[in-house]
Structures are given as C-alpha cells and as structure tokens.
Amino acid sequence: MSSVQHQPQADNESSDQLILHLLELHEGALAISSTLELSVILQRVVDTARRLTASRYAALGVVGEDGLITMFITSGIPAEKREVMGELPRGHGLLGVLIKEGKPIRIPNIAADQRSSGFPPNHPPMTTLLGMPIRYLGRVVGDLYLTDKEDGLFWSDEDEWLTGLLASHAAVAISNAYLYHELKLQQEHAEANHRRLAVIMAALPEGIVVCDKAGRVLLLNETAHLLLGWQVGDDVQARPYLTTQPDGSPYTTASLPLVHTLREGVALSGQQMTVSQPHGKVVDVLTSTAPLLDSSGTLAGAVAVYQDISQITELARLKDEFFSMATHELRTPLTSITMSSGLLAELLLAQGGRVAGLAALVDESARRLGTLVDDLLDLSRLEHGRLRLYCRPFDLCALLNRIVDETLPLAERKSQQLTVIADQSCALEADPGRIEQVVLNLIANAIKYTPAGGNIQVSVNYGRGVTTIAVADNGPGIPAHEREHIFERFYRREDEGTAQAGSGLGLPIARQLVELHGGRLWVEDVPGGGSIFRFTIPH
C-alpha cells in the first residue's frame, strides 16, 4: 500500500472541507470497487483523484512486472487531444523516478526539474506535479499523477494524503482485477480443455465412463451410453443392462470391473463380459478400468473403457464351429482309410517288394493323420468344456506297466532304456483311457526327443491326497524360458525345427486332461541334463 506520511493538520476552518473530501473519497472508493473491469476501475481512480484534489489533469500508469508502463489512463485531457499525443509513456524522466523510488513526489516546476525528460509533442503544457506510487504487497503496481491545481496553488499535504488513500484503494482494486483476469483465463482454459475432451470422447469408438468414488457417472460418451445404458448422474452399480460373465453366469455387483476398481482401488484389464440390451441385442464387451487418484493419492473415482468385441467373438465362434465340424467330418472317412490301409499293408506284405513298402507308407501316414485329427477333436472339446471323463477305480501301476511294455519296441529301435518303477498295486479313481493318453504322450515325447542310447524312466509316487506320475529322460532338456511355452497350442521348440515330426498339440492336451481331473502337469530340469515331466491326480 502507499505509505502515507503526511497527515493534514486539520484546523477549524478546513475541517468541514476535509470531511467533505473524505466523503467524496469514500464514494470514489465504492465506485472503484463496484467493478472488476480493469480499464473502468482505472478510469474511476484517475477521475476521483482529479476531482478530489481539484487538479486540471490526472493520469495513471499500470506498471508491469518488468517495470515498464503497460496501460496509461488520463483524466482532463479530451479524447481528440489524447489521440494525437501518441504512444504510452515509456516511464523515463519523472515517471521513471516515481516507479523506481516508489515514494510520493511533489514538483513545483516540471520543466525546471533536472530529472524531467520533457514532454512529447502535442502534450498539453503542465507545471506542477504530484506523483503517488500505487503499491501492493511491496511492489509498485502503478503510479498516480496529478498536474496543475485549478486554483494555481501548489500541492498541499492534504492533497498528498488524499491521493495516498485513493492509491491504497486503487492498489487493492487493481490486484483484484488481476486476480479476476487470471481466474477468467483459467476458466477459459478449463472450458477449452473440456470442449477438447468432449470432442475426443465423442470420436472414440470405445465407450468411456468416468465416475466419482461413490460410483456416480460424471462423464461418459455416446458409445458407453449405447453399450451400457448409463447416463451422467447414474449409479454404476444400478446397471440398466444385464451383464454376464463369459461363462454365462451373472455378474455380482461387487465383481463388476468398475465397481471392483472403486472398492479395491486397483486397475483391471481385458475383462470380458456379455451385455444384454433391452431390445434383445447381446454384445460382447472387453473392459479395462483404472482408479482415479487426487493430488494426495486418495481414491477419487474410476475410469472404464468398454470395447465392443462382438464381431471378433462371432468370428472366433464361427472359426471354432468350422474347426470342430471339419475335424469331426474328417474322422469317419479317416477311420475307414486307416483300417483298409492296415489290411492292405498286411496282405501285400507277403508279396514283398515296392508295393508292400508303399502300402506300409500309406498305412503309417493314415495313422498319423488319424492321430492329428483325434488331437484336434480333443483340443476343440477341451476348450469348449465338451470333453467328458469316464472315471472309475483302476490299478495305475498295472496300467503303467502295460504302457511301458507296449512302447518298449519303440525305445529299443533307438537303443534306449525304458524302465518303470511301479511295483505295488496302486488304486486310482480317474478316466483310465485319458490317463493312458497323457502317459503315452509323455513317453512318446521322451523317446522322440532323447538321442539314441538314452534312458527313460517312468515312476509313480502315491502321496498324501495326490498320486504323482513322472516321466524322466536324459535328453536335451527344456530351457527355462520355454518351460511354460511348450504347453501352448502348436508350440514347438525353435531348435527342434523339422528334425522330429509333431504338431505341438500333445502337451497342451495332456495338461488340460490332467487339469480336468483336478491335477497339475509341469516340467522340471534334471540335474546333469534331461527333463522330467510330472503330473498329479488327486485321490
């Protein structure tokens, strides 16, 4: 604020006039504070200052943060004269002194003062000057100038005191106007951001929903409204459209991805759900959610993105349907080809020669094709939950011994040792056909991937609650980074190349068959080289 050092010594004669001036000052202050428009405020300040001090001219310069004058408002100079006076004063000369020193000055003769830099062309002649800095929070934010009192006298202490009071009001008003201007800019900025966001949201093919921590929808785009039926202000737990999980079971409110994120504060991605819309349309939707945190890291709401994947799931369904139909259709003719080729090969064997060799080749190929089709059928059934187990009690050790007996000739062809440690009888309740399929697959792999002369051992461990069956070999083993991949559909190890025939379906089918029994199948490293596949069956 302006420092006001001079307080007039009000004697009896001037006290009435002082009261009148104070009243006028009060009115002026009210007028100043009644608007937030900076140019209007400044005009009111200079007009009031001129009137109060009975000056011929008054001016007010607003000083920017760089110390230069950014606005210059005058009073007492007609508009046409002001126009020909040219640009803003640069704040040199006496105005510069006032800005720099920040103290009131009274000059009896401007032209005679050494610090004066003179007047620009077309400037009205002026003699006396009263200059008052406008200070706010220690900074000069403007200057108020009065020149030439109308009665021709010099500036009194009272003039300076009144001007100082007026400058204090002006300082607050200017600062308010700055704050208001700043606020308006921020508001405009926020509105522009909001408009930009609205355009982006409207253009997105995904549905977007933003809600507060109570689950009220704050913002959503048209896609989200069409997909899920929500509107701004709705409770996301209310769910206008029915939502079910991929297996068809209904979502409980708490397990809905957006509600889960609101309650637990964790992000979820790629959650699939099915939405039944009122007009009968059923849409598959992929949902990802994320919590929204405020500046202190506290949960303030959540955002969800919904992607309509109905077309993709429909294509996948058609593909699966075709796949399962094609494999099913292939199976019947293949069975008769395999039977006939086997018979043919047997008949032609007696004749020997090239024809017998060819028949054996056809038979072998037909069998491999048959295995592939069976694997594809199994996989398709397993993945659609359509494979049924026929469980019954049986002796696992007897089964393992039989399988090893039957596969021994295969191992012997590669001079491999194939042994089984399953002496006692161990009862198991499971689907013996499927257990045989798993063990056969593991033994066939061990024979296939272990070099000639290797060792393969099958063992069983009847433990607490689970029976563990292991097939170990001293072959090349499986690198750690591939130990999970080999259980993926069609995955074959890269360095395998075409060295061994195979489809990459054996292990994924074996794992799913074991899991269908409630067990686990995994592979471990064997110290000294090789691999050991183990699977458990609960009993």
Binding stretches for ligand ADP (CB under 6 A): 445-446, 449, 473, 475-476, 478, 486, 491-493, 496, 502-507, 531
CB of 486 to ligand ADP, least distance (A): 4
Query: Please, what is the Cα angle at 357 between 355 and 361, to 5 degrees?
Result: 115
Among residues 506, 512, 500, 499, the alpha carbon closest in space to that of 371 is found at 506
Nearest to ligand ADP of 59, 478 (CB atom): 478
Q: Which is nearer to ligand ADP, 400 or 505 (CB)?
A: 505
DSSP annotation string for 289-305: EEEEE-TTS-EEEEEEE
Nearer to ligand ADP, 131 or 477 (CB): 477
- Pick between residue 124 and residue 476 the one whose CB is nearest to ligand ADP: 476
**How far is it, in rounded angstroms, from Cα 249 to Cα 243?**
9
In angstroms, what is the minimal distance from the CB of 514 to ligand ADP?
Answer: 13
Q: What is the DSSP string of 470-485?
A: EEEE-SS---GGGTTG
Contact (CB, 8 A) for 281 and 268: no
Closest CA to 466 of 400, 406, 407, 539: 539
**Integer CA distances (angstroms), 250 to 242, 246, 313, in order:** 8, 9, 19
Exposed/middle/buried for residue 376 (C-beta within 10 Å: 0-12, 13-18, 19+): buried
CB-count burial class (<10 Å; 0-12, 13-18, 19+) for 255:
middle
CB atoms within 10 A of CB 36: 16
- 121-157: buried (b, 16+ CB within 10 Å) or exposed (e) per residue? eeebeebbbbbbbbbbeeebbbbbbbbbbeeeeebbe
**Least distance from ligand ADP to the Cβ atom of residue 508, Å:** 6
Closest distance to ligand ADP from the beta carbon of 349 (Å): 29
Block residue for tokens 């161990």: 426
Residue placing its CB nearer to ligand ADP in the complex, 156 or 437: 437
Q: Which is nearer to ligand ADP, 158 or 473 (CB)?
A: 473
Alpha-carbon distances of 519 from 98, 322, 476, rounded to whole Å: 91, 31, 26
Q: Write the CA distances from 299 to 132, 211, 456, integer angstroms.
A: 53, 11, 57
Tally the C-alpha atoms within 13 A of residue 79's C-alpha that lie toward its C-beta.
0
**First CA to last CA across the chain, in angstroms?**
90
Neighbouring CB atoms inside 10 A of 489's CB total 13
Residue for token pair 């000055």: 105
Question: Residue 24 gets which letter from DSSP?
Answer: H
- Residue type (1 letter), 193: N
Q: Chain-centre distance of CA 448, in angstroms?
A: 48
Q: Which is nearer to ligand ADP, 371 or 461 (CB)?
A: 371
Residue 174 phi, psi (nearest 5): -65, -45
- Name residue, tokens 């964790």: 266
Residue 49 or 509: the one with the smaller Cβ distance to ligand ADP is: 509
Q: Which tokens belong to 377? A: 């059928």
> CA of 144: how far to CAs of 60, 90, 138, in Å?
5, 15, 16
What's the min distance (Å) between Cβ of 428 and ligand ADP?
Answer: 23
Least separation in angstroms between residue 489's CB and ligand ADP is 9
To the nearest whole angstrom, how small is the minimum distance from the Cβ of residue 506 to ligand ADP?
3
- Closer by beta carbon to ligand ADP, 51 or else 493: 493
Cα(139)–Cα(389) distance, integer angstroms: 87
